[in-house]
Structure 1
């Protein structure tokens, strides 16, 4: 029997950006003279460039400069605001010790995601970080994608999992993008209530929702235990 696989979203699931994303986007928009939308939580999940196109009136030719301002401040200030959610490191360590294979699958640009995973020591437990293309680009470049199904597919490819067993493979995330990406591969997605989805999104998108890391450990046992319970 192949080892179980858990795929993790990053922001809102493993890491708490603590306002680094929403505050950073607001400051970058204001600095370039653009209106700041009221609901900045929508920006957590998709690449920043995708969200700027969807939720603001920033012209296409100005998006790269807004993203560049946001990214520069994020690397100098935002990372210092970020924290691992309570209980998450312990859960990753326990899963790794039990032989579970893990990867991060995030719509954050891959170099930044790799930096964060290493910065917080999560690379002790996850085998690979599959991320998005340059988030200022309208069209994916360099072999990386923007959309979550492709990012999840790349994580599975890097793990050598070409036909994932839905009883032994699961995604964990906090937004509908995670659930939709998992569904594209025939997989369940477990939701975490500590992220950025509202109650309606949590109720509509996920196979089950955990309120804390201990509850998530119990839900994951259904996919990672030696004899998975029927679902």
Structure 2
């Protein structure tokens, strides 16, 4: 039997940005003279460039500058505000000890995601970090709203999982983008309530939703433990 595979989103799932994203976006917009939207939680999950197009009136030609300002501050200030969610490290250690293969699949630019994983000592549990291309400020091609399906696909490719077993492979995330990306590959997505989605968003597309790390561990048992055999 092949080893189970668990893919993890980063912000809102493994890491609590603690205002690093929302505050960083607000400061970058203000610094460039643009209005700051009231609901900044919507910016956590999708690529920053896409969110600026969807939720602000920033002209297309100015988006790369706003994104560059936000990213520079995130590396110098945002990571210092970030924390690992309670119970997550213990769960990762438990899964790793049980032979579960794990990877990060995030819409954060891959170099920044790798930096965050390294800073918080998460690399010992993950075989790879699959993130967005570093040109995420560019306009999306082919009408794609977000690139989570491609990011999940790349994580699976790096793990050598050409055809994921839906009974042994699962995504964990906090936004609908995670559920949509998992669905594109025929696998379930487990949601977490400690992230940035409201109850309405969590009610659509997720196989189940966990309220804390202990409950998430119980939900993961369906995918990570061998099925009982009858006599």
Query: TM exceeds 0.5?
Result: yes
Paired with 1:135 and 1:56, the residues of 2 have a C-alpha distance of: 17
Paired with 2:60 and 2:20, the residues of 1 have a C-alpha distance of: 24
Are positions 1:216 and 2:216 aligned together?
yes
Paired with 2:136 and 2:82, the residues of 1 have a C-alpha distance of: 20
Q: CA deviation at 1:34?
A: 0.5
Match of 1:42 in 2: 42
Q: CA deviation at 1:203?
A: 1.3
Q: Which runs of 5+ in 1 are unaligned?
A: none
Work out the number of aligned pairs and report it.
225
Are positions 1:69 and 2:35 aligned together?
no
Q: Is the 8 A contact 1:16 1:84 kept in 2?
A: yes
CA displacement 1:93-141 (0-9 Å, x = unmatched): 110010000000000000000000111111000100000012212247x
Match of 1:56 in 2: 56
Q: Is the 8 A contact 2:179 2:205 kept in 1?
A: yes
SS in 2 for 1:170: strand
TM-score of the two chains, using structure 1 as the length reference? 0.95
Match of 1:80 in 2: 80
Paired with 1:138 and 1:121, the residues of 2 have a C-alpha distance of: 33
Q: In angstroms, what is the RMSD of aligned CA positions?
A: 1.4
Q: CA deviation at 1:80?
A: 0.2
Distance 1:214 1:177, change over 3 A: same
Distance 1:178 1:228, change over 3 A: farther
- Of 79-88 and 130-139, deviating more is 130-139
Q: Is the 8 A contact 2:96 2:125 kept in 1?
A: yes
SS in 2 for 1:74: helix
Paired with 1:187 and 1:149, the residues of 2 have a C-alpha distance of: 11
SS in 2 for 1:92: helix
Match of 2:139 in 1: 138
Paired with 1:106 and 1:100, the residues of 2 have a C-alpha distance of: 19
Are positions 1:2 and 2:5 aligned together?
no
SS in 1 for 2:161: coil
Paired with 2:140 and 2:149, the residues of 1 have a C-alpha distance of: 16
Paired with 1:97 and 1:29, the residues of 2 have a C-alpha distance of: 44
Q: Is the 8 A contact 2:194 2:212 kept in 1?
A: yes
- Of 145-154 and 208-217, deviating more is 145-154
CA displacement 1:31-61 (0-9 Å, x = unmatched): 1010111111110001111110111110111
Q: Is the 8 A contact 2:50 2:140 kept in 1?
A: no
Aligned ranges 1:1-231 → 2 under 5 Å: 1-133=1-133, 134-139=135-140, 147-227=147-227
TM-score of the two chains, using structure 2 as the length reference? 0.95
Paired with 1:129 and 1:149, the residues of 2 have a C-alpha distance of: 15
